[in-house]
Amino acid sequence: MKVLVFVKATPKSEKGLVFDEQTKQSFAAMGKFNDELIKAGLIQDGDGLKPSSFAKRVHFSGEHVSVVDGPFAETKELVAGYWVWNVKSMDEAMEWAKRCPNPMPGDEGVLEIRPTFAVEDFAGLISDEHKAQYQKMAKAKAKVKAKARTKARAKRKPARAKAKK
């Protein structure tokens, strides 16, 4: 089961990165946690997000489309980062989330965990053509990931070869 884990924003995170000792310690703790997720084979993706002052929202109302520039006022509605985890169950996701260091040191950190839909969830709603399109998209995504892994390995090989000399 795939879940998105949202790190909720705080007024402090909306101000941007602060390079102080607390932030350095937080990044070190989060790095260790991310390593545990990697070793467990759970993490598929994840990143921190810039403050909403860098963001834009696209609003749709019937045929009308409008764009609103950030920053956005309701901090509790904002996301400061995310992970994509592949877990066996929501219970497993909760256990991992409880192990996470506070993502907002000095503030109340909040993680929101939401399962994603799978193509099977749409049975009866989408056509075979749409299912095939979804599968094609999944294959394309897998190709991109495989290509990135190959590039990463290629970058590491020269360093290893030099070390053997």
Answer for the pair 90, 113: CB distance below 8 angstroms, yes or no. yes
Residues 124 and 110 occupy one common structural domain: no
The CATH code of the domain that includes 54 is: 3.30.70.1060
pLDDT in tens, 1-24: 999 999 999 999 999 988 889 889
Cα dihedral sign, 94-99-105-108: positive
Number of folded domains in the chain?
2
User: 31 and 94 share a domain?
Assistant: yes
Q: Are residues 110 and 137 in the same domain?
A: no
d(CA 96, CA 160): 34
Q: Is the pLDDT of residue 130 over 90?
A: no
Q: Minimal CA–CA distance to 26: which of 103, 81, 96?
A: 103
**What is the per-residue pLDDT across 84-128, written as a single tens digit (0 to 9) for each?**
999 999 999 999 999 999 999 888 999 999 999 987 888 888 888
Q: Give which of 27, 7, 34 is closest to 111, Cα–Cα.
A: 7
Provide, rounded to the nearest whole percent, the portion of the chain with pLDDT above 70: 92
Look over the chain and give the mean of its residue pLDDT values, rounded to a whole number. Answer: 88
**Global pTM?**
0.79
Q: What is the domain range of residue 127?
A: 119-165
Question: Which of 16, 15, 8, 12 has the alpha carbon at shortest distance from 100?
Answer: 8
Based on the domain organization, do 126 and 108 belong to the same domain?
no
